[in-house]
């Protein structure tokens, strides 16, 4: 990412805020000036320990831009330091042109024009594209831009292809056909495309995962495998398959689910494990383990329901990361399967274990937001409050490794 000059920072901030305001659409009732505090450019602008060289650069930039007529400014009553920097609203188009010529800035007018061209290109591409373009056209009339304008072309391109598709395809094959890149769809546009498909599907997304909408259009992920190990017997196609002899468990395609009549658990516990490494590491004579890899998909959900139907009296546990994501995965697992999984190795005790102290990670702001919500739910309240108080989280792998030491 390039380092912006103070000139570019000042003009970009003021122009962007003007274009976001009601002045741009003419809906403003009060004519407030578009302004910028110099502290937004350099936090220590007014501090005693501020870097004089940085402060001088800002002052020079303001002086030069004022001479060009793009901005004005006010200074402190008793001093020379700037108080506010103001955009000269009447020069908004000249200012944008200067930004474009000097720094390659893309103005709002250019973005609106880009959006209009996208509407022309996709309004007849498919039924959903037509409806979405109708909404976008209303945006252009009000000079309002969608937040995803930069990726909108790629999103609508995929939606148009998916709606017209009648061929059985995998996600990466779709990606090649749409973008000429086998991973672009999955890595860049899968979620916004699927959200758009759901929005116009007329169905509520309850137990289904976001990308399961693609099955309506003959598109699937790579063949899903189910991984299980331990003392269990799978009844499939009228035959009994004892998997206890496979020390590292077995893997089978999710398509085999339709041939499984029941699963008998010959152990007191059935445990789902979030991460692959922990699944490979964890062995116990007391538990049959099942690998999730994150949020349970429809095939994993159906297998767990099958296990529960055959073994309602077994103890069900879930072992995952001690973080907001890990707890939400557990919550989702219980919700979509109807099985009450107890938490395993995901307590305050693990967070306080001195053996794991060097593996603790600091919480992000997003972690805190998600943990606050979890703190209002059982059985997460106590551990969520502790994590927020201490500002820590812990990955599952170190706990799984420690559990297996000495075995």
Whether 366 and 297 map to the same domain: the answer is: yes
Q: Are β-strands 287-291 and 269-273 bridged in parallel, bridged antiparallel, or unpaired?
A: parallel
Q: Is position 347 within any domain?
A: yes
Domain boundary among 64, 80, 105: 105
How high is the mean pLDDT in each 10-residue block of the chain (407 residues)? 80 87 70 89 89 92 94 84 92 90 84 90 95 90 79 95 93 95 93 94 73 88 89 96 95 92 97 94 94 88 96 97 94 94 95 92 92 92 95 91 68
Domain boundary among 54, 81, 105: 105
Whether 95 and 75 map to the same domain: the answer is: yes
Whether 47 and 150 map to the same domain: the answer is: no
CATH number at residue 250: 3.40.1360.10
User: 169, 149, 158, 150: which is closest to 126 by C-alpha?
Assistant: 158
Q: Which two tokens stand for residue 138?
A: 């209303």
Q: Are β-strands 287-291 and 219-220 bridged in parallel, bridged antiparallel, or unpaired?
A: unpaired
Q: Which two tokens stand for residue 287?
A: 């538990």
Whether 342 and 388 map to the same domain: the answer is: yes
Whether 298 and 159 map to the same domain: the answer is: no
Expressed in percent and rounded to 5, the helix, strand and coil fractions of the chain are 50, 15, 30
Q: Is position 344 within any domain?
A: yes
Residue 207 confidence (pLDDT): 55
Residue 313 confidence (pLDDT): 95
Q: Is position 126 within any domain?
A: yes
Residues whose CB falls within 8 Å of the CB of residue 49, separated by 6 or more in sequence, listed in order: none
Whether 304 and 395 map to the same domain: the answer is: yes
Q: What is d(CA 176, CA 154) in angstroms, rounded to the nearest whole number?
A: 13
Helix (H, G, I), strand (E, B) or coil at 281: helix
Residue 30 confidence (pLDDT): 64
Dump strand ranges (E) for 112-249: 169-170, 219-220, 225-229, 232-236, 239-242
What is the domain count for the chain? 3
For 226, list phi and psi in degrees, rounded to 5: -105, 135
What order do you get walking across the sheet with 239-242 strand by strand? 239-242, 232-236, 260-265
Whether 204 and 254 map to the same domain: the answer is: no
Rg of the chain taking only CA atoms, in angstroms? 29
What's the angle, vertex CA 188, arms to CA 186 and CA 192, rounded to 5? Answer: 90
Residue 407 confidence (pLDDT): 46
Helix (H, G, I), strand (E, B) or coil at 110: helix
Whether 359 and 253 map to the same domain: the answer is: yes
Q: Which two tokens stand for residue 246?
A: 């496979």
Backbone CA torsion sign across 242, 243, 246, 247:
negative
Q: Distances from the Cα of 52 to the Cαs of 46, 47, 58, 73, 102, in angstroms?
A: 10, 10, 10, 19, 27
Peptide bond into 108 cis (omega under 30): no
Residue for token pair 């967070």: 351
Q: Is position 400 within any domain?
A: yes
Q: What's the distance, Cα to Cα, between the start and end of the chain in Å? A: 50
Domain boundary among 189, 220, 251: 220
Q: Is position 386 within any domain?
A: yes
Residue for token pair 């297996």: 404
Q: What is d(CA 336, CA 348) in angstroms, rounded to the nearest whole number?
A: 26
Q: Distances from the Cα of 18 to the Cαs of 107, 121, 259, in angstroms?
A: 12, 29, 62
Beta carbons of 254 and 226 less than 8 angstroms apart: yes
Domain limits for position 289:
225-404
Whether 172 and 94 map to the same domain: the answer is: no
Q: Is position 1 within any domain?
A: no
Whether 271 and 259 map to the same domain: the answer is: yes
Q: Is position 238 within any domain?
A: yes
Whether 94 and 123 map to the same domain: the answer is: no
Beta carbons of 308 and 262 less than 8 angstroms apart: no
CATH number at residue 58: 1.10.10
Q: How far is CA 149 from the centre of its chain?
A: 18
Whether 97 and 126 map to the same domain: the answer is: no
For 269, list phi and psi in degrees, rounded to 5: -135, 150
Q: Is position 33 within any domain?
A: yes
């Amino acid at each position: 990412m390039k380092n912006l000059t103070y000139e570019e920072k000042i003009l970009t901030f003021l122009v962007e805020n003007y274009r976001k305001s009601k002045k741009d659409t003419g809906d403003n009732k009060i004519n407030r000036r578009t302004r910028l505090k110099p502290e937004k450019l350099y936090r220590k602008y007014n501090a005693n320990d501020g870097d004089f060289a940085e402060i001088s650069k800002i002052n020079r930039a303001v002086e030069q831009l004022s001479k060009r007529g793009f901005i004005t400014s006010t200074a402190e009553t008793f001093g020379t330091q700037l108080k506010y920097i103001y955009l000269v609203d009447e020069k908004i188009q000249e200012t944008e042109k200067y930004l474009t010529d000097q720094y390659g800035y893309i103005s709002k007018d250019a973005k609106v024009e880009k959006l209009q061209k996208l509407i022309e290109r996709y309004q007849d591409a498919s039924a959903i594209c037509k409806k979405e373009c109708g909404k976008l056209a209303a945006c252009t009339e009000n000079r309002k831009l969608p937040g995803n304008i930069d990726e909108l072309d790629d999103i609508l391109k995929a939606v148009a292809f998916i709606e017209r598709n009648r061929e059985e395809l995998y996600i990466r094959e779709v990606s090649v056909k749409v973008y000429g890149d086998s991973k672009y769809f999955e890595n860049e546009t899968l979620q916004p495309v699927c959200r758009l498909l759901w929005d116009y599907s007329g169905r509520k997304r309850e137990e289904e995962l976001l990308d399961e909408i693609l099955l309506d259009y003959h598109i699937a992920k790579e063949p899903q495998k189910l991984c299980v190990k331990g003392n269990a017997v799978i009844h499939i196609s009228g035959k009994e398959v004892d998997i206890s002899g496979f020390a590292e468990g077995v893997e089978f395609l999710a398509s085999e689910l339709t041939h499984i009549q029941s699963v008998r658990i010959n152990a007191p516990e059935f445990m789902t494990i979030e991460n692959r490494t922990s699944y490979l590491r964890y062995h116990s004579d007391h538990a049959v383990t099942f690998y999730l890899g994150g949020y349970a998909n429809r095939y994993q959900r159906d297998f767990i329901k099958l296990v529960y139907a055959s073994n309602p009296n077994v103890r069900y546990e879930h072992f995952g990361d001690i973080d907001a994501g890990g707890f939400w995965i557990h919550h989702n697992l219980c919700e979509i399967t109807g099985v009450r999984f107890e938490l395993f190795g995901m307590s305050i005790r693990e967070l306080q274990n001195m053996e794991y102290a060097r593996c603790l990670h600091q919480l992000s702001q997003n972690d805190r937001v998600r943990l606050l919500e979890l703190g209002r739910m059982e059985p997460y309240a106590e551990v969520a409050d502790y994590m927020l108080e201490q500002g820590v989280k812990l990955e599952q792998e170190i706990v799984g490794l420690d559990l297996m030491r000495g075995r």
